Amino acid sequence: MKSRTIKVDNLARVEGEGALFVKLNGQQVTDVKLRIFEPPRFFEAFLRGRKFHEVPDITARICGICPIAYQMSSCHAIEDACGVKITGPIRDLRRLIYCGEWIESHALHVYLLHAPDFLGYEDSIRMAKDHPEEVKRGLRLKKAGNEIVRLLGGREIHPINVRVGGFYKVPEKKDFSALAEELRWARDAALETVRWVAAFDFPDFDRDYEFVALRHPDEYAINEGRIVSSKGLDIAVREYDLHFAEQHLSHSNALHSRLNEREAYFVGPQARYSLNFEKLSPIAKEAARAAGLGPVCRNPFQSIVVRSVELVYACDEALRLIERYEKPDKPAVNVEPRVSTGFGCTEAPRGICYHRYRLDDRGVILDAKIVPPTSQNLKTIEGDLWQFVESHLAVQKDKLQWQCEQAIRNYDPCISCATHALRLHIESE
Amino acid sequence: MTSAKPKLAVWKFSSCDGCQLSLLDCEDELLAVADAVEIANFPEASRAVVKGPYDLSLVEGSITTPHDEQRIHGIRRASRFLVSIGACATAGGIQALRNFKDVKEFTSIVYARPDYIETLKKSTPITDHVFVDFELRGCPIDKYQLVEVISAFLNGRKPNTPPHSVCMECKQRGTVCVMVAQGVPCLGPVTQVGCGALCPGYARGCYGCFGPKETPNTASLSACWSGLGVSNRDLMRAFRSFNAYAEPFRRESEAHEK
């Protein structure tokens, strides 16, 4: 039997740089490697010696697409170390700015990065020629998310208003009125989005995944909760290192995460949805049902539908938070450093983002650990490709290559995050 | 340039992707820009790749690997104009903090197998390697300045991006000086505008995202900070962030390194 390879040297429509390499021997896949050649940036190393209040501004720079995720995980971890818990309107504002990031990031992925695969376009600009209304809707949705981030954070990328303990300045209730108007439009547009993507064609695909996400008793978890999985894991954030390990493989500048007992796992919108469906708002649940999704969704190609359902939820939740907002007396809670280690984990648009910091008595960082969502999904993405290629060998090579890229984009991988990239090679022996 | 649309390419080196995302963040302008130019190479947005030469290349990120050190020369050769965008590309970025330390130590802190990692000792700006037609500052860049730069180059004129300090913009906006009025340490007097003087408007001091302004008097500002009770160590760290390796900031941080 002849051997062959599928290669993508420079994966497009992902954040960062990577390549895919699949090796085949006859009908069997013999190797799958998602090569991450995005250069390493050493955040954990240069965080040592910085003061704790500098951390959120520095970790934001790990990712231009989801800086809030890094700022929030950092703040929670440092507050945990210092014995501070944020409640009331400041907690709500954090959840609100995070909703903004979900909307901005999900709209970017659904409309500009992923939908072109389903409709057969190289990119969204080309797609816009035939589907101008949809692309305009996506851009306006993205902008609505960015408006939340800008109002609370000062700017969309690397916001300047987030600090340990809260914010530098908080808005007046009336500052939200124009935004609320736009968010009501955005919620309707998100519902339209769900209907639009639900009609796409999805390859039949299913694996026995272990979903991992935060779970909170009172809400669809974003900033806080216990780390749970679909195979029975249920731990406090501070127990993360006991259950998860990072591996360093030769083909990747991103560390691969795995669960100690069971290897690969799956984080992100689909994991959150499948573990916390009951906590979605009624309108988001209804949209999911109408799109034909059950309370658990195991086909990663349908992630675009799940992401759209989360768009509905994030708009709805943002409106709820704005509705009940009352300006707090102070924009931030005072946080005093102490000798301690703190842990934080929040739901980045792409899945759980774990931070751990050890502080001395003056608040200097002695040690830092950051695990972004994409490194946690790398093993699962490789597993998907393995199975997908084996069951689609009859597909013509160009088409198969494109479908492999699409299978990777199911996870909205952020390679800049994972190295704190992607290319495709499919080779047959 | 022929009668066809000018070709725009976007290239990435070591970075967070935020500056090229600024182009996609131009929600109101994106389709108009895409109408005026041919997006010939922009992997974050498209899987289509059009061969060079390119009329305008936007380069994000800093040079940190032997491979990238080679790659940038090919991009320069294929580009009529090359504009570096963002603090990584113009000053080496936050990852240039390694330049003050031993990168081997950094690698072993982060990676279990340092032998798998290929990296240069220093993170350097694009202009250290090839001729750069224009540097657009910021961490991140301002999207309106980006649109201005693209339109300037496509129309054969100089981009209008002021080189003066953040202070000027605070005055224009009518923001009360946080340093004078509240004693909050601020890098505004030595930092270039571009952000819209954001931080003082949010009651915090500027932390230098856009790098040094033209002719900055960093020593004088440091003396003011010391007067507010800021220690030498804290001064060193203040100058050592996203533009740490920009010459005036580098010299000032080293002056406080004891």
Where do the domains of chain B lie?
Answer: 7-154, 166-255
**pTM of structure:** 0.94
Residue A113 and residue A196 in contact, taking contact as beta carbons nearer than 8 Å? no
- Interface touch A146/B25, C-beta < 8 Å: yes
User: For domain B7-154, which architecture applies?
Assistant: 3-Layer(aba) Sandwich (3.40)
Question: Which ipTM was obtained for this model?
Answer: 0.95
Residue A256 and residue A246 in contact, taking contact as beta carbons nearer than 8 Å? yes
What pLDDT score does A245 carry?
Answer: 85
Instruction: State which residue of chain A sits closest to B122, comparing Cα positions.
Output: A41
Among the partner residues B22, B116, B140, nearest to A250 by beta-carbon distance: B116
Confidence class for position A421, pLDDT limits 50, 70, 90: very low
CA distance A86 to chain B (A): 20
Q: How far is CA B156 from CA A309, A335, B143, in A?
A: 46, 52, 20
Among A11, A38, A61, A257, most B C-beta atoms within 10 A, so best to mutate, is A61
pLDDT value at A426 more than 60: no
What is the tally of helices (H) and strands (E) in chain A? 15, 14
- Interface touch B94/A17, C-beta < 8 Å: no
What pLDDT score does A11 carry?
Answer: 74
CATH fold group of domain A3-428: Cytochrome-c3 Hydrogenase; chain B (1.10.645)
Instruction: State which residue of chain A sits closest to B199, comparing Cα positions.
Output: A160
- Interface touch B113/A108, C-beta < 8 Å: no
pLDDT value at A411 more than 80: yes
Among A157, A161, A364, most B C-beta atoms within 10 A, so best to mutate, is A157
Instruction: State which residue of chain B sits closest to A146, comparing Cα positions.
Output: B25
What pLDDT score does A375 carry?
Answer: 85
Confidence class for position A153, pLDDT limits 50, 70, 90: very high
CA distance B62 to chain A (A): 10
For chain A, the average pLDDT equals 91
What pLDDT score does A316 carry?
Answer: 98
Among the partner residues A40, A331, A416, nearest to B15 by beta-carbon distance: A416
Among B10, B12, B16, most A C-beta atoms within 10 A, so best to mutate, is B16
Least confident of A157-161, A252-256, A396-400, B45-49: A252-256
Among the partner residues A48, A65, A128, nearest to B21 by beta-carbon distance: A65
Among the partner residues B28, B44, B203, nearest to A168 by beta-carbon distance: B203
- Interface touch A157/B207, C-beta < 8 Å: no
pLDDT value at A401 more than 90: no
pLDDT value at A416 more than 60: no
- Interface touch A45/B64, C-beta < 8 Å: no
Confidence class for position A27, pLDDT limits 50, 70, 90: confident
- pLDDT tens, residue by residue, A327-383: 999 999 999 999 999 999 999 999 999 999 999 999 999 999 999 998 889 889 999
What pLDDT score does A424 carry?
Answer: 37
Q: How far apart are CA A397 and CA B245, in angstroms?
A: 47
pLDDT value at A232 more than 70: yes
Q: What is the pLDDT along chain B (258 residues), one digit of tens a residue?
A: 445 899 999 999 999 999 999 999 998 888 888 889 999 988 888 888 889 899 999 999 999 999 999 999 999 999 999 999 999 999 999 999 999 988 777 777 777 667 666 788 899 999 999 999 999 999 999 999 999 999 999 899 999 999 999 999 999 999 999 999 999 999 999 999 999 999 999 999 999 999 999 999 999 999 999 999 999 999 999 999 999 999 999 999 999 987
Contacts of residue A235, Cβ cutoff 8 Å, sequence gap at least 6:
A226, A227, A228, A242, A243
Confidence class for position A417, pLDDT limits 50, 70, 90: low
pLDDT value at A178 more than 60: yes
The whole-angstrom distance between residue A337's C-alpha and the CA centroid of its chain comes to 30
